[in-house]
């Protein structure tokens, strides 16, 4: 398949599912890890897709790319996940062109987050694009777009209160515990998983609940021990998971495991438990969630927490959208000028030919650097006139005539 089709906004698509139309059990079917991401990139080369990246978090899985049609991207994604194309399309949104561009701006700025203004997504977006770039799937279009998106996100964060009040999924978990667990300082808390979300949750537990009765368990024990040492907490090996679960009053699960980590036999008859599962897919077995001694909370339920912080953030949305609109306008201008690159390259070559033309022998005596400066000036002026008047052919001819008249 020819992969040299014109790369512009009209060929840019996003296909994805998120918390708005699918619950965590469905989203979990389309969660991807690094091995799956690599396989998607390998398949993209065969499919003729040369620019793409995949964003997979607890709240969304999205594939962005320049393609002939969005179904190329859908096939690439679903070909490496547990879910089918039919299941994906049942909950998916597909956006093209300016709508797809606006979507990635909204995602990076926290406007599309499950908790409004949550900026954890920015780091995840950077990681996703870096992975694709290392695989050779980030070209000029994607590079420029992401740079513009990240700058807009930074401007939103610095110039609005959209993220005011510090609320993220990790912090929402702590809010829930504070609101629903009396005398929390006297309770034993177990945190399973010390990746990014686990680390953030752990630090919030220490900072906002003023407790250090926290035990950390991670599949890689060194990571749990490192964080425990840093915060003055306790860690335990994975082999002690069942004993630690039975001893805990509050359990927070933040793992990336594809298989269930917390099983029914771990909890049955083990006393009252509050379990908060921040994992996608869920890491608490279905039959464990329904035990009479278990109160279960997941990321979807946490997102429903409403307080003054969210009302304040909602009032900042118009400011954020105005900043995004400015970023999108600048990006659109860059894309528009990029359409004229073939013409300007041809013009540059034609001007160079005129320099070597027998009818212009005096030109050969000019210094090469001076000629380059003169040609670049003509190109810049021509590009400006094309932008103002949208007359490609007329400006091409005008530039040639101008260059010739200056030389005579």
Distance CA 237, CA 229 (A): 14
Q: What is the dihedral of CA 43, 46, 49, 54, to 10 degrees?
A: 0
360 is annotated as contributing to ligand binding: no
- Where do the H-state alpha helices sit in 290-391? 299-302, 308-315, 317-338, 341-356, 368-389
> Pairing mode, if any, of strands 93-96 and 234-235?
unpaired
19 is annotated as contributing to ligand binding: no
Q: Is 298 in contact with 114 (CB distance < 8 Å)?
A: no
Which residue is catalytic, options 58, 78, 202, 335?
58
Q: How many of the other CB atoms lie within 10 Å of CB of 135?
A: 17
110 is annotated as contributing to ligand binding: no
Distance CA 209, CA 207 (A): 6
48 is annotated as contributing to ligand binding: no
Q: Is 399 in contact with 382 (CB distance < 8 Å)?
A: yes
194 is annotated as contributing to ligand binding: yes
Q: Which residues are CB-contacts of 18 (< 8 A; sequence separation ≥ 6)?
A: 27, 59, 60, 61, 62, 93, 112, 114
58 is annotated as contributing to ligand binding: yes
37 is annotated as contributing to ligand binding: no
Distance CA 56, CA 405 (A): 58
**Residue 20 burial (C-beta neighbours within 10 Å; 0-12, 13-18, 19+):** exposed
Annotate 276-302 with b (16+ C-beta within 10 A) or e (fewer).
bbbbbbbbbbeebbebeebebbbbbeb
- Gyration radius from the chain CA atoms: 27
314 is annotated as contributing to ligand binding: no
**Helix, strand and coil percent figures for the chain, each rounded to 5:** 60, 10, 30
Distance CA 322, CA 329 (A): 11
225 is annotated as contributing to ligand binding: no
* Catalytic residue status for 210: no
Q: Is 23 in contact with 63 (CB distance < 8 Å)?
A: no
Strand partners, 52: 65
223 is annotated as contributing to ligand binding: no
120 is annotated as contributing to ligand binding: yes
> Pairing mode, if any, of strands 273-277 and 294-298?
parallel
Extract the annotated binding site: 57-60, 113, 118-120, 124, 193-198
Catalytic residue set: 58
Extract the annotated binding site for substrate: 57-60, 113, 118-120, 124
Extract the annotated binding site for NADP(+): 193-198
């Amino acid at each position: 398949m020819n992969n040299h089709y014109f790369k512009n906004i009209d060929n840019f698509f996003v296909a994805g599912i998120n918390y708005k139309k699918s619950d965590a059990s469905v989203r979990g079917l389309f969660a991807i890890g690094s091995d799956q991401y690599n396989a998607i990139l390998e398949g993209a080369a065969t499919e003729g897709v040369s620019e793409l990246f995949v964003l997979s978090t607890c709240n969304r899985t999205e594939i962005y790319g320049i393609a002939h049609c969005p179904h190329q991207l859908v096939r690439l994604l679903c070909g490496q996940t547990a879910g089918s194309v039919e299941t994906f399309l049942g909950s998916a949104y597909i956006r093209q062109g300016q709508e797809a561009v606006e979507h990635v701006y909204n995602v990076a700025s926290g406007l599309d987050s499950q908790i409004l203004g949550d900026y954890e997504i920015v780091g995840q977006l950077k990681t996703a694009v870096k992975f694709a770039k290392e695989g050779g799937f980030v070209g000029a279009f994607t590079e420029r777009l992401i740079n513009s998106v990240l700058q807009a996100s930074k401007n939103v964060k610095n110039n609005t209160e959209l993220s005011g009040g510090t609320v993220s999924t990790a912090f929402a978990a702590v809010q829930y515990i504070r609101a629903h667990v009396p005398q929390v300082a006297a309770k034993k808390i177990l945190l399973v998983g010390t990746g990014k979300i686990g680390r953030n949750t752990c630090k919030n537990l220490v900072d906002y609940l003023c407790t250090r009765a926290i035990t950390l368990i991670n599949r890689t024990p060194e990571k749990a021990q490192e964080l425990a040492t840093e915060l003055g907490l306790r860690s335990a090996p994975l082999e002690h998971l069942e004993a630690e679960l039975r001893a805990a009053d509050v359990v927070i699960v933040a793992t990336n495991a594809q298989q269930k980590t917390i099983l029914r036999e771990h909890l049955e008859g083990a006393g009252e438990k509050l379990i908060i599962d921040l994992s996608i897919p869920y890491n608490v077995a279905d039959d464990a969630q329904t035990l009479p001694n278990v109160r279960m909370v997941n990321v979807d339920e946490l997102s429903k927490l409403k307080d003054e912080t969210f009302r304040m953030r909602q009032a900042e949305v118009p400011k954020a959208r105005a900043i995004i609109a400015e970023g999108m306008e600048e990006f659109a201008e860059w894309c528009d000028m990029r359409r004229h690159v073939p013409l300007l390259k041809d013009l540059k070559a034609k001007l160079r030919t005129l320099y070597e033309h027998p009818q212009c022998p005096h030109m050969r005596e000019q210094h090469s650097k001076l000629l380059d400066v003169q040609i670049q000036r003509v190109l810049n002026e021509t590009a400006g006139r094309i932008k103002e008047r949208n007359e490609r052919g007329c400006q091409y001819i005008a530039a040639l005539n101008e260059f010739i008249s200056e030389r005579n």
